[in-house]
Amino acid sequence: MGKELLLEIGTEEIPAAFLPKAIEDMKKNISRELSDIRIGHGAVTALATPRRLCLCVQDVAERQEDQVVEKLGPAKRVAYDENGNPTKAALGFAKGQGLDISELETISTDKGEYLCARKHITGEDTAELLSELLPKFIVSLPFKKSMRWMNLDLRFARPIHWILAIFGGSVIPFKLENVSSGSKSYGHRFMNPEAFEVSGFDDYLTQTRNHHVIVDPGERRAIISEEAGKAAEAVSGAVLENADLLEEVTFLVEYPSIVRGTFEEEYLDLPKEVLTTSMMSHQKYFPVIDSSSGRLLPYFITVNNTVARDPAVVAAGNEKVIRARLADARFFFEEDQKIPLENKLEELKDVVFHSQLGTSYDKVTQFRELADYITRRINPELKDRVSRAATLCKADLEMQMIYEFPELQGIMGREYALIQGEDPVVATAIYEHYLPTAAGGDLPTTDEGAIVSIADKIDTIVGFFGINVIPTGTADPYALRRQALGIINIILEKQYPLRLDELIEESIAILGKKLKRSPDEIRSDVLAFFKGRFENQLMSQGHPYDVVDAVLSVDITDLVRALKKIEAMEAFKSHPDFEPLAIAFKRVGNILKDFAGGAVDPALFETVEEKNLHGAFLEIRDKAASHLDNGNDREALIEMARLREPVDIFFDSVLVMAEDEKVKFNRLSLLDEISKLFHRVADFSKIVTDH
């Protein structure tokens, strides 16, 4: 059994958003670091609060594993002369390895016999190694943003105040800038701030709890959930569940304490999203709902970081804050209704969307035209509603409510549209054109919302690619990746018969002189961008990379059809002729490299094998093409699989690269015709085979 390693990094309050990743990074990094220096260990536990990062590693070996290092020297034939005496080469190698010539060994390799220096390195004490490892481990923890403080060079998420480092009950001594490691931790900053000695992990958990700190985020989360539920039940309600808010609040506190507050029922007349945004996004409150109907009740639940001496006083303070916010929201709501949405369009002429792409008003006119183009291809009867939704969908950006609550864009546009008597479908589309707002998020339910969403997003992507503002690495300030995925998922969900190349071409034409790059460059780069997003999504869903690559290499423009081909290829993989065909077409691809193609002349056939292959191809071609034209990709593949035997016989018996140029050209043309048929589904040369 090894010893227990306990590390705690005490800090100023670290942002809640940093902590879940920090927990995972600590576990992953310490396992890698210990493995790199040959120290075995058991289970790893990582915990965090706003003021501390805690790591415990069980059963850590007390010493490094011993290591045998082998170093090859000169070949034996040059290491010794004809009399068997060591040469300068052998003596120099021995000296360089710190060994006597007699300690060198001779080993056999594929290239012959060589001298070898074999050293046995005894492992060092783990405690000594940890004194060097732990400071490096701490400073290597990655954070989205880090900072320096005082005149120190150290960078960390927030200033470090103390470091607890214990191995087997003893302190691991080291210094990190102005902080020395020790065996002390500190309690809750406000309720129990004094220091206390720690002997191990179990003692640490007990001591921190006694000092009003619950280090385990899972336990804090459970307390918040349970106590908030009880507080809601006391007023015959339930907590409006929100996993993101629960996660955030869990990492905002060290010792959660629940307080319930209330507000005037008159505010319930506001749109539900206004109330929930005010409470959840701005104040980190949990709304309370009627457990049967789901409607909001005039209560909220807040999570404090201290136990309130008088909960009524804490509730009153929070009620004062939320009351002011809701009063502002009601004022904005009433003021915004005085101006029709359509009248707000003129104000968009003064809102710059991008310095090179014009105003928000310009953007609306652009994607409204693109939406009309899409409508004609999907359902021309939707034209009026789509046009109206596209016209109004950005109008709420100039509303006072959105200045205060930018998260409500689209939502308030929908609400104002309904109040002002717009068609409910148009109102819904105004909201839905922003969807999806996150990866895996809700998609538009209406065709009107879906069409405007696609048009808006295509306009944005083509516009930015057209002025050479393209995502690189992790930098994607205009969320173009998310918008591309949104388009992909909407088209797939709705099964729209839209071609990406045509959408891009139409958008390029509409944007016109605003674009600084050539249409060909824009088209090529945008299609490649979509291909990358589509590939990543398909592989994350479990589709094999080689099948995805084979299909998308042939065509990325028709997303619905591409997915059907991928599914057909996956099903066809179990066919006994699949792999032999893939192997054959790898060969075909190599032979046809740089071949421009040509017409097949049966009169130039010299062998029965090429005649048979051509005949089989002609028999199969029309049937397979018919299946493909009707979208029956798997049936087409099964039909094409019948070419497996004549193709194999052809390659076994016929020399494609014949000396007679006409015969060679004719044979290449035959293979090219067959390859083109298969390319209607996929590039089979990209399929991974066992041979």
| Structure confidence at residue 412 (pLDDT) | 95
- Span 416-427, pLDDT tens digits: 999 999 999 999
- Residue 179, strand partner residues: 176
DSSP labels, 175-200: EETTEEEESEEE--TTT---EEE--S
61, 39 Cβ separation under 8 angstroms: yes
Half-sphere exposure of 225 (CA within 13 A, CB side): 14
Q: Read off the pLDDT of residues 141-194 as tens digits, 9 standing for 90 and up.
A: 999 999 999 999 999 999 999 999 999 999 999 999 999 999 999 999 999 999
pLDDT band for position 593 (50/70/90)? confident
Residue 494 has pLDDT above 90, yes or no: yes
Beta strands in 61-189 (DSSP E): 67-75, 105-109, 112-121, 160-167, 170-171, 175-176, 179-182, 184-186
- Find the range with the poorest average confidence among 432-436, 502-506, 635-639: 635-639
Of the candidates 679, 658, 674, 678, the one whose C-alpha atom is nearest the C-alpha of residue 615 is 674
d(CA 450, CA 455) in angstroms, rounded, equals 9
Q: Is the peptide bond before 436 cis (omega within 30 degrees of 0)?
A: yes
- Residue 580 sits at the vertex; the CA angle it makes with 578 and 585, to the nearest 5 degrees, is 95
Mean pLDDT of 482-492: 97
Which residues lie below 8 Å from residue 11, measured CB to CB, with a gap of 6+? 51, 52, 53, 156, 157, 158, 159, 160, 161
DSSP 3-state assignment of 46?
Answer: strand
Q: Do domains 341-542 and 559-686 have the same CATH topology?
A: no
Q: Which amino acid is at 431?
A: Y
Task: Give the count of beta carbons closer than 10 Å to the beta carbon of residue 278.
Answer: 25
Read off the pLDDT of each residue in 529-548 and give the average, rounded to a whole number: 94
Please write the tens of the pLDDT for every residue from 363-419. Answer: 999 999 999 999 999 999 999 999 999 999 999 999 999 998 999 999 999 999 999
Instruction: Report whether 273 contacts 282 (CB < 8 A).
Output: no
pLDDT at 595 over 90: no
Mean pLDDT of 273-282: 93
Strand 52-60 versus strand 3-11 pairing type: antiparallel
pLDDT category of residue 83 using cuts at 50, 70 and 90: confident
Q: Which helix (H) or strand (E) holds 58?
A: strand 52-60
pLDDT for residue 247 is more than 90: yes
pLDDT score, position 686: 86
Residue with tokens 């927030």: 158
3-state secondary structure of 359: strand
Q: In this predicted model, what pLDDT tens digit does every residue of 473-483 receive, in sequence order?
A: 878 999 999 99
| Mean pLDDT of the region 426-445 | 94
Q: Please report, for the chain, the start and end positions of each structural domain, with discontinuous segments joined by +.
A: 3-63+125-210, 67-121, 217-336, 341-542, 559-686
Mean pLDDT of 610-628: 90
- Average pLDDT score over residue span 513-523: 95
In this prediction, residue 284 carries a pLDDT of: 95
Express each pLDDT in 189-236 by its tens digit: 999 999 999 999 999 999 999 999 999 999 999 999 999 999 999 999
Sorting pLDDT into bands at 50, 70 and 90, what band is 627? very high
Strands 179-182 and 175-176: antiparallel
DSSP state of 543: -
Task: Tell me the HSE value of 688 on the side-chain side, using a 13 A CA sphere.
Answer: 7
The pLDDT value given to residue 66: 85
Count of CB atoms situated within 10 Å of the CB of 100: 9
pLDDT of residue 658: 87
pLDDT of residue 513: 92
Q: Average pLDDT for residues 284-307, to the nearest whole number? A: 95
Closest CA to 462 of 392, 378, 397, 366: 366
> Which amino acid does the sequence have at 638?
I
Higher pLDDT, 438 or 530: 530
Confidence of residue 101 (pLDDT cuts 50, 70, 90): confident
Neighbours of 66 (CB within 10 A): 10
- Rounded to 10°, the helix 424-432/383-392 angle is 50
Cα separation, 424 vs 535, in Å, equals: 37
> Could you tell me if 212 and 223 are in contact, meaning their C-beta atoms sit under 8 angstroms apart?
no
pLDDT value at position 303?
97
The pLDDT > 70 percentage for the chain reads 100
**Is 559-686 in CATH node 1.10.730?**
yes
Output the average pLDDT for the chain: 93
pLDDT grade for 589, boundaries at 50, 70 and 90 = confident
Question: How many CB atoms within 10 Å of residue 57?
Answer: 24
CA angle 151, 155, 161 (to 5 degrees): 75
- Residue 119: the pLDDT is 83
Q: What is the per-residue pLDDT for 534?
A: 96
The DSSP line for 378-405 is H-GGGHHHHHHHHHHTTGGGGSHHHHH-
Q: Which band of pLDDT confidence, cut at 50, 70 and 90, is reported for residue 463?
A: very high
Task: Give the span between the Cα atoms of 307 and 157, in whole angstroms.
Answer: 27
Q: Which of 378, 687, 372, 379 is nearest to 551 (CA)?
A: 687
Largest pairwise CA distance in the chain: 108
pLDDT tens figures, 41-67: 999 999 999 999 999 999 999 999 888
Residue 259 bridge partners (DSSP): 302
pLDDT the model gives residue 691? 58
In Å, what is the CA distance from 598 to each residue of 72, 613, 683?
Answer: 58, 17, 20
347-379 burial, b for 16+ CB within 10 Å, e for fewer? ebeeeebbeebbebbbbbebbbbbbbbbbeebe
Which of 192, 204, 169 has the alpha carbon at shortest distance from 45? 204
Contact assessment for residue 442 and residue 486, using Cβ atoms and an 8 Å cutoff? no
For the domain 341-542, what is the CATH code? 1.10.3210
- State the pLDDT at residue 138: 97
Q: What does the block give as tokens for 402?
A: 């959105």
Report how far apart the first and last C-alpha atoms of the chain are (Å, whole number): 48
